[in-house]
Amino acid sequence: MSEVSQPPKETAHDEALFTVVAGEGDGFLLGLAAGDTAGGAWDLGYSATTEQATVIAYELIADGILDLDRVVTALLEMEGIEEREPVFRAESPEFRAWLDRARSGNVAAGLEPSLDAAVRATVLGVAFRRDPAGLVSETIALGRLFHEDAGTVAAGVVAAAAVAASCFAQSGLDLLAGVGETVELASGKMAGLRDSARLESLPGEVRVLIPHVGVASAEEAIAAAGGDRSDPLQMVLAGVLLAAPVAPRHHVAISEAAGLGASRLGAVVGAIVGARVGIRAWPWAFANDTWFAEIGRRLVRGPNETRDLPIPYAVEQHLMSGGRPGFH
């Protein structure tokens, strides 16, 4: 009697070594909201982290350009400056301080290091995915609106570059190489920021990650990036390292990032992974997922129209004070 053949054992070589373009980035906001939710800043779902990205995406869908005055106005509308209740939830201390200054008419950048710039910049990574020079200049301009810390603004450039690369299915070494090329374009363009001298080593900080591509744990990733959890640039580099591999379970990198840097780093890695894998369901539930999917589609493919989309303030106000608690 002949032996029954057995299926071959799985090896590392049986896993996909590449990906194909899936929506050219349209899943970024859905992934961002998933990462924000996984980080738990707001215990009922996504937080001000996602809300800010949504507002910026609306501005870019409508106009295709980044008008900083309009961004400030839109954020203050969410803050309820027109005698309405504020709808930002679980905002970071840095963003809360910026809002308080802006409410008083002083739209001034803060000195504190922050992961906020990296989250906001993910939207620019999609919008300017075909324009590396524009991606760099617009990301730095947006970063300077909120922050004076050079590492914080540079973290935004890294995040935007990683999302842009993911829009075209880059992963692994290719993803790190794409980020490295983009940060080279940023060289010398962040002068005047606090501690800008440290950015001279940024291309090297990206290159040193290349031998570590494939790490799967947050501890390994932050150690490879330098080990300083208080440094937004090192934290975002760790997030890029977690997001780089093509993984059968796309959500694992997001979960690891959320464990390392809570909602904001979870959102950054969610945007990178979401841009690569496209619009898909994530293992944990959060409100307004179809809205986020449509915002991503429009930012990538148009139409350049938001008038037929829900008003962000109304969506968030309903979520916070609707007739029934929870998500429906």
* Average pLDDT score over residue span 97-101: 97
Percent of the chain at pLDDT > 70 equals 92
* Average pLDDT score over residue span 196-219: 94
Q: Structure tokens of 64?
A: 């295709």
Mark 10-33 as b/e (b = at least 16 C-beta within 10 Å). Answer: eeeeeeeeebeebbbbbbbbbbbb
Q: Structure tokens of 267?
A: 């959102």
Q: Residue 273 pLDDT more than 90?
A: yes
pLDDT given for residue 187 in this prediction: 86
If pLDDT is split at 50, 70 and 90, which confidence band does 322 have? low
Q: Residue 325 pLDDT more than 50?
A: no
* Average pLDDT score over residue span 235-260: 96
pLDDT given for residue 19 in this prediction: 62
With beta carbons less than 8 A apart as the criterion, state whether 157 and 139 touch: yes
pLDDT tens digits, one per residue of 21-80 = 889 999 999 999 999 999 999 999 999 999 999 999 999 999 888 999 999 999 999 999
Alpha helices in 231-287 (DSSP H): 232-243, 251-277
For the chain, which domains are there? Answer: 21-316 (1.10.4080.10)
Does residue 18 or residue 280 have the better pLDDT? 280
* Average pLDDT score over residue span 256-276: 98
Q: Structure tokens of 138?
A: 């617009």
Q: Residue 7 pLDDT more than 80?
A: no
Q: Residue 245 pLDDT more than 90?
A: yes
* Average pLDDT score over residue span 297-304: 96
* Average pLDDT score over residue span 163-172: 97
With beta carbons less than 8 A apart as the criterion, state whether 286 and 30 touch: no
If pLDDT is split at 50, 70 and 90, which confidence band does 3 have? very low
